[in-house]
Amino acid sequence: MTRIAAVHGTLAPHRYDQSAITDMVARRCLPRGADRHALDRLHRAATVRARHLTLPLDQYEALDGFGAANDVFVRTATDMGAKAVREALRLAGLTPADVDLLVFTSVTGIAAPSVDARVAGRLGLRPDVRRVPMFGLGCAGGAAGLSRVHDYLLGRPDQVAVLLSVELCSLTFQRDDPSPANLVATGLFGDGAAAVVVRGSARPGDTPGPTIVDTRSRLYPGTGRILGWEIGDSGFQVVLDPGIPDVVRRHLADDVRGFLDGHGLKPKDVSAWVCHPGGPQILDAVGEALELPDAALDISRRHLAEVGNLSSSSVLHLLRDTLADRRPPGGTPGLLLAMGPGFACELVLLRW
């Protein structure tokens, strides 16, 4: 089994209360003089108290089009990504020269050379480092990235891999777009990054984190239009169907129980649920589908309230917080899970 050696999460530099962000969205997205009752209601319903943003609030109104926003993404993602990887390697007791594979996931900007190549140059990773940039997985990207790192290290157990996620969701908010999907997104998503260092089973070193036991990916046919992007002249326009919680209720329980059953486990055996906080209704649907105790998703709800949904980075922040604040008993199983466009679910079975 592969083992998680270190997890480091970081947040964008500018922190604002939800009410201040709502005021910015009203100026940027609603017609002049429009009634903002629906916007205020949707932002309150997100249960988010504050978020970290890439830019100061007064600079978002000056972003003129996709090109300007993406330029900020490339610059900031490289800076934040390099800092996250550097600190994760330090926590793992490793150096940039030790990294054999760098996997990068994001759904909030694009770059060529990709952000992972820029980070590799910034940190001085070896010229022969393998790189896998992944785009389009959305909120599932953190869990999917761990799965792909695990797959790689099963074949190269003497190596070290790093997963990097950077999501600058605020740069995708659509100007002059009062659609319900855009208003929901502007009340829910924040900006952050995370890096995870993973050792193969034959790689020596102190690794206090959990082992990755197994992974599972699941695509749900006929759900491809309920979550994702419509990409137009103004950039990434969010697709966010209100029926997503019903899809979770319909499918998740069978997938999780079937996955656990293959390892002789039941949901009641799981000592910690590291569940991506897609939103309050998604967390409610997960809890109902799996019949979890009320406290099982407390860390996810707290994360959502404190920093919002960081897309693929959130589940990695939650992994860090679980290890730091609520470390489960040694030898017990944990389940890391996230859902994203496809519509898809990613499951990672851990042993603490």
DSSP 113: S
Burial class (CB in 10 A: 0-12, 13-18, 19+), 333: buried
Distance CA 121, CA 146 (A): 23
Tell me the backbone φ, ψ of residue 51, rounded to 5 degrees.
Answer: -145, 160
Residue of 311, 86, 103, 335 lying closest to 210 (CA atoms): 335
From the centroid of its chain, how far is CA 257?
23
Beta-bridge partner residues of 334: 272, 350
Distance CA 275, CA 314 (A): 9
Distance CA 282, CA 241 (A): 12
Segments of 86-210 assigned E as strands: 101-106, 130-135, 160-168, 191-199
Distance CA 350, CA 196 (A): 14
Residue 139 annotated to the active site: yes
From the centroid of its chain, how far is CA 33?
36
Cα torsion 333, 338, 342, 344 to 10°: value is: 20
What value does the CA radius of gyration of the chain take, rounded to a whole number of Å?
Answer: 19
CA distance from start to end of the chain: 12
Residue among 29, 139, 169, 345 flagged as catalytic: 139
Place of tokens 């569940």: 275
Residue of 256, 27, 263, 229 lying closest to 108 (CA atoms): 229
At 185 the three-state DSSP class reads: helix
Give me the active site residues, please: 139
